[in-house]
Structure 1
């Protein structure tokens, strides 16, 4: 089998496994995996910007929150149905990403990190300031009767898992297709040597802006679906914590790999879940494990597999 065939077989095989698991998992893990798939979609968006383009953002929570609030406010205050509201959420993230990208990309390195962090904090403060509509930290609940799309009651475990699966499948396959395209290869070239990419005639700023917009759009889609599937919208999702988490997931799974965001999200989620069942100091256990991985698996779980076993992994 060719390398391209192996790549598609592996990724489609994972999706086939995730699809089958919904019929056999117990209720607790069924719900957990649905949540993991939505959060992994968030990490997929972050990976496009950080892992493949080399842009380290400390403010990705603003895109996740933009999608969540774009969807939630449209349903709560405009009476929109879930379909149009989800589109509004994604468009909110894309527009915000274009604005932030156009300004933040005028800086490099640490400057880019600081600017994205500042923008994210501004979005969080806006959510708090307009608490009359957003309800700030308290947030608001999307009622069960409103969470029906195309005849599916998304408050029920089965439809919720299926929609989370569709979202993750779309995000992962889009990521794979983008990185196999000429656009994706230019992003990798920019990450490896930006000056050389510019000397070869590529418009570096335009490609970076495209990466930020695509990354922000995927993150916004994850935020919109998270709010709809789990019935809650709140400013908590705009805090710095939700900017650090996707970075952590991507580093754990393997930056610059297609499967890394999912593996990292799944690993981190269950590491916290399992360790908290044994001790109240579960974050200490998590910290020790993460430090060990940083020391002995510097390229992340999937990154190490690619370096040592399967060099054809994208």
Structure 2
């Protein structure tokens, strides 16, 4: 098997997006006390593996359904170039799914000390749902990513579950206010998917339906702007309700220019020229979450 081709299919540039929710969740958790190292390590590992499982499954699903063609505007991947066979990709997906299960169970055990109690069992069910969602985005007879339902799944798992779920695993508690930063990260995660769909709108038209296709280019750009702005409104509302306002507002302003540059690119670029806007938004989201974590670690009250 071509190792370089396998690494390319992992799409490692997407990992900071899934990490943004975890980092935000850890920032929330720090206000409840110190973090358990084993829980944090397995939490990060499980999240990274779920992202990789999603990426591999998406590549296989898009290849089988004829979506990844020469006309596709994004980065070319290994199946598309014939560097990995379909059986090999299925083996990689099975391995990633198994590792997700092992890492997830270890995370729950380190957090609760058992797998056989109400909370651990509920988290196991949630983890199974996350694995199902990762694989069924483009795989199966009726993948939801081909029926304009991907935005909902991304919002739930990359936002609500990632932020509030990781904070719960670390603290064994929950506050409704956590849903504000969770929804903010969810909006930005959906925005990453949306700009990807705007870029691929022409090549996707023959095989799938996305929210961007339903909206059209102009309204999809408006949708993108709303996702970014609503995310910021939610995060700043959370900050004003929970921390020393001026300290957090000034810190968050450090990443606002990245979001502005991203939106300018979305409104002025088309097709393949949009591709750099994806990693820019991913890194802007991660950087904002990292500021939350640094501020919490420095002793600012969340």
TM-score (norm 1): 0.26
Kindly indicate whether structure 1 or structure 2 has the higher relative contact order, using CA contacts under 8 Å at least 6 residues apart: 1
TM-score (norm 2): 0.27
